[in-house]
């Protein structure tokens, strides 16, 4: 029997999940960044700033960052702007439509020389062993069919002493806020998707995928199983998001 994977609340063949996810992000790519602002009331900017602060790109030496499932390059562009002139970032994403938007953004900001874009699967990264000083993924790991493979690949491409950072939606831990969050997520967000991006179903999937993602303790255990050391997790905004960190030592 073919293995199954979660696609939101649906169970689908494992081999078919990636195609379904690709269809979602092909649909939402043109309005993806605008929808992030609307859905999070702009909070995603503060969350990504916290991620870049944790990446801590140096200003006085070469630094190579891999932005896994980086889509439109939001994190990579922020990291390059925060680092010195020797900071380089590579955005790797399986969806060419998202990468096209990212390339245009990098060109518009004059950062095309410091940020490159590569089409690739997080489960089989097209980079050599020990190629990067840091690897990050923001709100993308939950869409990978085999998360454990993506974590193993992130570990593989990191240099000794490199760190992996993952910013992902988590479980709300404030009584009362959890019910309001569910009401907003399952009712308002799909309606926003329909009005702004012309696609309610893709945003319904994104909400459902958040609820299926492992809780912080379980994801930390997955990081340790992948070989990472000094694993830590910090929740933000009442548990809406969590920032995970692990080191290759």
Local confidence band at 58 (pLDDT 50, 70, 90 cut-offs): very high
Nearest partner of 155 among 125, 182, 185, judged by Cα: 125
| 212 vs 14, more confident | 212
Q: What is the pLDDT at residue 1?
A: 45
> How large is the average pLDDT for residues 218-241?
96
CA distance 18 to 186: 23
> How large is the average pLDDT for residues 144-169?
96
CA distance 157 to 145: 20
Please count the CA atoms within 13 angstroms of the CA of 103 that sit on its side-chain side: 12
For residue 178, give the CATH number of its domain.
3.40.50.150
Q: What is the pLDDT at residue 26?
A: 58
CA distance 170 to 239: 6
Could you tell me if 227 and 155 are in contact, meaning their C-beta atoms sit under 8 angstroms apart?
yes
Local confidence band at 18 (pLDDT 50, 70, 90 cut-offs): low
Q: What is the pLDDT at residue 185?
A: 82
CA distance 67 to 69: 7
**β-bridge mates for residue 166, sequence order:** 137, 244
Total number of domains constituting the chain: 1
Q: pLDDT tens for residues 90-111?
A: 999 999 988 999 999 999 999 9
> How large is the average pLDDT for residues 47-57?
96
Expressed as residue numbers, the domain containing 71 is 4-247
Task: Provide the H-helix boundaries in 95-176.
Answer: 96-108, 147-157
Could you tell me if 117 and 99 are in contact, meaning their C-beta atoms sit under 8 angstroms apart?
yes
Percent of all residues in the chain with a pLDDT value above 70, rounded to a whole number: 86
Q: pLDDT tens for residues 132-144?
A: 999 999 999 988 9
> How large is the average pLDDT for residues 70-79?
94
Local confidence band at 206 (pLDDT 50, 70, 90 cut-offs): confident
> How large is the average pLDDT for residues 6-31?
52
Most confident listed range (57-61, 175-179, 220-224): 220-224
């Amino acid at each position: 029997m073919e293995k199954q994977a979660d696609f939101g609340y649906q169970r689908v063949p494992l081999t078919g999940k990636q195609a379904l996810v690709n269809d979602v992000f092909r649909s939402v790519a043109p309005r993806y960044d605008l929808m992030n602002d609307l859905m999070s009331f702009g909070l995603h900017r503060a969350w990504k700033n916290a991620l870049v602060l944790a990446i801590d790109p140096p200003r006085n030496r070469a630094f190579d960052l891999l932005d896994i499932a980086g889509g439109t390059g939001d994190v990579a562009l922020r990291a390059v702007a925060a680092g010195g002139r020797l900071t380089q970032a590579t955005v790797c994403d399986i969806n060419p439509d998202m990468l096209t938007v990212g390339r245009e953004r990098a060109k518009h900001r004059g950062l095309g020389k410091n940020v490159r874009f590569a089409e690739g699967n997080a489960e089989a990264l097209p980079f050599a062993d020990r190629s990067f000083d840091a690897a990050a993924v923001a709100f993308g790991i939950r869409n990978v069919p085999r998360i454990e493979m993506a974590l193993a690949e992130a570990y593989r491409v990191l240099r000794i002493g490199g760190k992996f950072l993952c910013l992902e939606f988590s479980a709300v831990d404030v009584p009362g806020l959890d019910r309001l969050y569910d009401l907003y997520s399952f009712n308002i967000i799909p309606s926003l998707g329909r009005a702004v991006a012309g696609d309610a179903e893709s945003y319904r999937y994104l909400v459902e995928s958040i609820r299926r993602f492992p809780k912080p303790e379980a994801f930390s255990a997955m990081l340790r199983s992948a070989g990472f050391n000094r694993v830590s997790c910090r929740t933000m905004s009442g548990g809406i998001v969590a920032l995970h960190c692990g080191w290759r030592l």
